[in-house]
Amino acid sequence: MQFKRKDLLGLEYLTAEEINLILETAGSFKEVLDRKVKKVPALRGVTVANVFYEPSTRTRMSFELAEKRLSADVINFSKATSSVAKGETLRDTVENIQAMKVDIVVMRHGSSGAHRFMSEFLDASIVNAGDGQHEHPTQALLDMLTLRQRWGTFTGKKVTIIGDIMHSRVARSNIWGLTKLGAQVTLCGPPTMMPVDIEKLGEGGVSVEYDLRKAVAEADAINILRIQLERQDARLLPSSREYFEVFGVGPEALRAAPEHCLVMHPGPMNRGVEISQEIADGDRAVILEQVTNGVAARMAVLFLIAGGKIEEDDIQ
């Protein structure tokens, strides 16, 4: 099977077969990353522009490393040091970048739908590295890659996502991806951070539970989100201390979960707010494993978007 889409705008638009293809391809690239020489010529001659309108540490570095591991030529754009400060529009900025014969634009933007809008104007492929509160597809893909390596299958598995659901693009992409592959998703967080009718998102199997201990009682994995104060127009909780008492995951809350339950976090973590020190560094946490898998997942996306087909010769 070959990936036939020009862009990766979100997991909402992918089929289960396409998601599985990305995960299988990522698994092959994970093996490359374990070699002494971690570089392959799969994207030699391809130019990738990383266009980030919002701050990022993990995602930006992970994409750049993935591009370099695939032997692509890489250029970077930062809003703070660009002509955006002089009033240049998003469309003009990206069309100018494309005019430099860029093949793939990896973009993060604060407006939901910015990538879909730009995909209508550009011949270059667009990869969504986060758009507003809408989607963060490669984060969900690396989350699923991490779970797939542990479980083998998603059918019948239960994942609980805890925290600021309303402002989380990670939550939305995970809901789409996990439910399409057969997992059940429970959402838990303050009512002020829970969107109305969020249960209708995804392919079924989504529920909401406001009691943290009930929410994790049957979970095979929990994915803990930070509170996104930068996206809140008004304060939606009394204090960080009170939030941790009710929705923070510490040893007591995790005791309500099965012993095999994995602990995930997309980062950046606020220790003592949504997760305790002991849990973040505990033996159930797969948080750094998620970061490692991020490079392989993004290599797979870039490789497939560029028209690659996973064969042994491609990754030699």
Average pLDDT over residues 170-175: 98
- DSSP sequence for 61-102: HHHHHHHHHTT-EEEEEEGGGSGGGGT--HHHHHHHHHHTT-
Q: Report pLDDT digits (tens) over 95-152.
A: 999 899 999 999 999 999 999 999 998 999 999 999 999 999 999 999 999 999 999 9
Q: Give every CB contact of residue 84 below 8 A, 6+ residues apart in sequence.
A: 53, 93
3-state secondary structure 132-194: CCCECHHHHHHHHHHHHHHHCCCCCCEEEEECCCCCCHHHHHHHHHHHHCCCEEEEECCHHHC
Cα(294)–Cα(264) distance, rounded to whole angstroms? Answer: 13
pLDDT at residue 49, as a whole number: 96
pLDDT at residue 291, as a whole number: 97
Instruction: Give the catalytic positions in this structure.
Output: 58-59, 86, 108, 136
Quick count: other Cβ atoms within 10 Å of Cβ 116? 16
Q: Give every CB contact of residue 39 below 8 A, 6+ residues apart in sequence.
A: 68, 69, 70, 71
How much of the chain is in helix, strand and coil states, percent to nearest 5? Answer: 45, 15, 40
Band the pLDDT of 169: cuts 50, 70, 90. very high
- pTM for the whole thing? 0.94
Element (H, E) at 222: strand 221-224
